[in-house]
Amino acid sequence: MGHIGPNPIRAAWYCVCCRLSSQLRRQIGIPRHSQPGSKSVFHARAQLVNLSAGRTRQRFATIIASQAIITGAFSMTRQAMQLGWFPGVRISQTSAEEHGQIYVPFVNWTMMAFTVGLTAGFGSSDRLAGAYGTAVSTTMVLTTALLYHVMRNRWQWSLCQAATITSIFLAIDLAFFSANLLKMRDGGWMPLTFGALVFTIMTTWHYGVEAMHRRKRGSISTAGQVLLLVFAAITSQEYVARRCFSHDLATPYRPSSSTT
């Protein structure tokens, strides 16, 4: 929504629902059993429409889907950088009105290199079916896990409510995921390997950022103790020296009877 706003998304979903309902109405008259030796129903119906118009629609759909993936990758990269989960890369703001319209050259060229490599390696879309199925089913499982986290920590749902909704989705997601595990040798290993690589980079970077912050906080504390020592040496005040070596700095100092 940060790229185009909520209204275009609502309009697009309305068109999708209309398209699905129209397609279901067309399938009512399809016979359940075709004659032996005849062509498939979908192939026969495809001959009744203009193939050039269908191919044009397919090209536009491919372009729109690729742009959605690219812009989504840009947004997720910036959010990961802001949360300290990804190394800093150059981001260009492409719009003066929409904050979400950005361009990340590193992500763009990396995706292009992987796309060309996958196209040359697999050679055809049929061989990519295993990789696509594994990627989609894994995304479904991870989305359900994130939904459970949001329901429990963000929406403050009870454990029973969150577990009930999550179990319904997981029953479907895990069925698809387990079925696609049989396609590991047919390309299913590729999205899992890439996901593991990105996960390793993000967790390693986040661990390094947290370690740097802890070290910085420790150095600030040490510098504060040194300043207290210098101040105690200059002013020769007993309470300053004692508070410098005390571990509980929040406890007020009570001077002894010998202190003047």
Letter string b/e over residues 99-114, b meaning 16 or more CB atoms within 10 A of that residue's CB: ebbbebeebeeebeee
Q: At residue 253, does pLDDT exceed 50?
A: no
Q: At residue 148, does pLDDT exceed 90?
A: yes
Q: Which helix (H) or strand (E) holds 162?
A: helix 159-180
Among residues 182, 186, 179, 65, which one has the least CA distance to residue 126?
186
Give the chain's count of helices (H) and strands (E).
Answer: 8, 2
Q: Which helix (H) or strand (E) holds 102?
A: strand 102-103
Q: Which of residues 260 and 191 earns the better pLDDT score?
A: 191
What pLDDT, on a 0 to 100 scale, did the predictor assign at position 228?
A: 62
Q: At residue 48, does pLDDT exceed 80?
A: no
Q: Are 134 and 180 in contact (CB under 8 A)?
A: yes
Q: At residue 72, does pLDDT exceed 80?
A: yes
Q: What is the pLDDT of residues 6-36, one digit of tens each?
A: 787 778 777 777 767 766 665 555 554 445 5
CA atoms lying within 13 Å on the CB side of residue 177: 16
What pLDDT, on a 0 to 100 scale, did the predictor assign at position 52?
A: 67
Among residues 238, 235, 231, 240, which one has the least CA distance to residue 259?
238
Q: Are 89 and 106 in contact (CB under 8 A)?
A: yes
Tokens standing for residue 26: 């067309």
- Segment of 2-11, 161-170, 243-252 carrying the highest mean pLDDT: 161-170
Q: At residue 114, does pLDDT exceed 60?
A: yes
Tokens standing for residue 157: 């749902």
Q: At residue 165, does pLDDT exceed 70?
A: yes
Amino acid at 104: V
Cα 10 from Cα 37, distance rounded (Å): 44
Letter string b/e over residues 133-145, b meaning 16 or more CB atoms within 10 A of that residue's CB: bbbebbebbeebe
What pLDDT, on a 0 to 100 scale, did the predictor assign at position 56?
A: 78
Read off the pLDDT of each residue in 61-83 and give the average, rounded to a whole number.
87
Cα 51 from Cα 42, distance rounded (Å): 13
Cα 186 from Cα 134, distance rounded (Å): 10
DSSP calls for 75-87: HHHHHHHHTTSS-
Q: Which of residues 212 and 237 earns the better pLDDT score?
A: 212
Q: Are 242 and 253 in contact (CB under 8 A)?
A: yes
Letter string b/e over residues 42-66, b meaning 16 or more CB atoms within 10 A of that residue's CB: eeeeeeeeeeeeeeeeeeeeeeeee
Amino acid at 4: I
Cα 11 from Cα 16, distance rounded (Å): 9
Band of pLDDT at residue 143, cut at 50, 70 and 90: very high
Tokens standing for residue 192: 């899992």
Q: What is the pLDDT of residues 184-227, one digit of tens each?
A: 888 889 889 999 999 999 999 999 988 888 887 776 666 666 66
CA atoms lying within 13 Å on the CB side of residue 169: 18
Per-chain mean pLDDT for the chain: 77
What pLDDT, on a 0 to 100 scale, did the predictor assign at position 244?
A: 52
